[in-house]
């Protein structure tokens, strides 16, 4: 692991629909808003709550001839009922690794695509991203939350164009979008040996409500360390995807 990352404490959240926090950090969190569909402005080290919905791609859009993407907080989206929602609360400007345990939630069973969202009047929503189908499972994603004066204005997916999985063996493929994916048949849920849990590395950019600059995305990008999952070496025996980091 490279030194720069040690500056950011890493909070690890495991979502198994009972959220448990493994690493607790000490900086004060003065953000009282704990629901993803409420508006808030934050400062560094506040907690910031956002949601992730797993559903079919078309559920993120209005029906009809000219589909428009809406935030899952928007009541006009009526197709999301069959999806799964996970709520995360990382600390602003700390790099967090958010994990959706595939033995609890297999994205394949819920439509296989996801968006990340927060806010209501000032709603921000990411583009839909592919997580899984019968053939492939994406196990690692990188997310940037971009703030302006403490208000979330943009949610972006980033990837390393498969650098982290090139050279791996045939269990791992590079999808067109630049994400590494595991063949679904190799996942534990299908009788394979790979833990296909989804890990989402989350970093921050922009400014907080006191105009302090949020730096963690800059650090991730500069170090080209798009997958922190590698830090959790107890998982490395099942996650061949990340063996380049060891
Ligand atoms: C998702 O649905 C929208 C709206 O119907 C469509 O424009 C878009 O191409 C779809 N994306 C994928 C990856 O299928
Ligand atoms: C997922 O949950 C199972 C069963 O509770 C556990 O054995 C496994 O280690 C978990 N995987 C991750 C990545 O946390
Ligand atoms: C599964 O997803 C991959 C990558 O997006 C795509 O190339 C493939 O056609 C999909 N397979 C099925 C059966 O939908
Ligand atoms: C690919 O990696 C997996 C997991 O480490 C391993 O079980 C499998 O034998 C490897 N396959 C090849 C062809 O090297």
Q: Is the CB of 133 under 6 A from ligand 4?
A: no
Q: How far is CA 105 from the centre of its chain?
A: 14
Q: Which has more confidence, 214 or 18?
A: 214
- Cα–Cα distance measured from residue 79 to residue 153, given in angstroms and rounded to the nearest whole number: 25
Q: What is the pLDDT of residue 241?
A: 35
Q: What is the pLDDT of residues 184-208, one digit of tens each?
A: 998 988 998 888 888 888 999 999 9
The pLDDT value recorded for residue 193 is 86
Q: Is 189 in the pocket of ligand 2 (CB under 6 A)?
A: no
What is the spatial distance between Cα 178 and Cα 245, in angstroms, rounded to a whole number?
A: 18
Find the range with the poorest average confidence among 75-79, 115-119, 127-131, 231-235.
231-235
Which residue's alpha carbon is at the smallest distance from atom 11 of ligand 1?
57
Q: Is any atom of ligand 2 closer than 6 Å to the C-beta of 103? A: yes
Question: pLDDT of 28-64, one tens digit each?
Answer: 899 999 999 999 999 999 999 999 999 999 999 998 8
Distance (Å, rounded) from C-alpha 216 to C-alpha 239?
Answer: 25
Helix, strand counts (H, E) of the chain: 1, 14
Q: Is the CB of 243 under 6 A from ligand 4?
A: no
Model pTM score: 0.81
Percent of the chain residues topping a pLDDT of 90: 47
**In the chain, domain spans:** 11-132+140-159+198-236
Q: In a mutational test of the pocket of ligand 4, which residue from 170, 186, 239, 240 has the highest number of ligand atoms less than 8 Å from its CB?
A: 240
* Percent of the chain residues past pLDDT 70, beyond the cut: 77
Please give the distance, rounded to the nearest whole angstrom, from the Cα atom of residue 76 to the centre of ligand 3.
29
Q: Which of 139, 195, 227 to mutate to test the pocket of ligand 2 (most atoms within 8 A of CB)?
A: 195
Burial class (CB in 10 A: 0-12, 13-18, 19+), 190: middle
Hey, whose CA ends up nearest to atom 8 of ligand 3?
135
| More confident position, 12 or 152 | 152
Does residue 77 have a pLDDT over 90?
no
The pair of three-digit structure tokens given for residue 183, joined into one six-digit string? 């063949």
pLDDT given at position 95: 85
């Amino acid at each position: 692991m490279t030194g720069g990352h040690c500056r950011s404490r890493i909070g690890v959240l495991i979502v198994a629909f009972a959220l448990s926090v493994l690493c607790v950090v000490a900086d004060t969190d003065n953000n009282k808003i704990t629901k993803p569909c409420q508006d808030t402005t934050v400062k560094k080290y506040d907690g910031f709550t956002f949601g992730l919905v797993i559903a079919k791609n078309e559920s993120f859009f209005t029906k009809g001839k000219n589909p428009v993407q809406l935030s899952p907080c928007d009541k006009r989206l009526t197709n999301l009922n069959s999806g799964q929602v996970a709520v995360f609360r990382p600390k602003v400007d700390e790099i967090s690794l958010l994990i959706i345990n595939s033995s609890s939630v297999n994205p394949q069973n819920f439509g296989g695509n996801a968006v990340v969202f927060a806010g209501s009047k000032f709603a921000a929503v990411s583009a839909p991203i592919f997580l899984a189908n019968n053939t492939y499972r994406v196990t690692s994603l990188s997310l940037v939350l971009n703030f302006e004066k403490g208000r979330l204005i943009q949610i972006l997916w980033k990837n390393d164009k498969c650098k982290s999985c090139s050279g791996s063996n045939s269990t791992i493929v590079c999808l067109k979008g630049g994400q590494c994916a595991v063949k679904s048949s190799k996942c534990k849920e299908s009788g394979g040996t790979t833990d296909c849990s989804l890990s989402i590395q989350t970093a921050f950019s922009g400014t907080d409500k006191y105009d302090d600059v949020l730096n963690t995305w800059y650090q991730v990008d500069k170090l080209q360390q798009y997958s922190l999952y590698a830090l959790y070496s107890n998982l490395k025996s099942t996650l061949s995807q990340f063996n380049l980091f060891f």
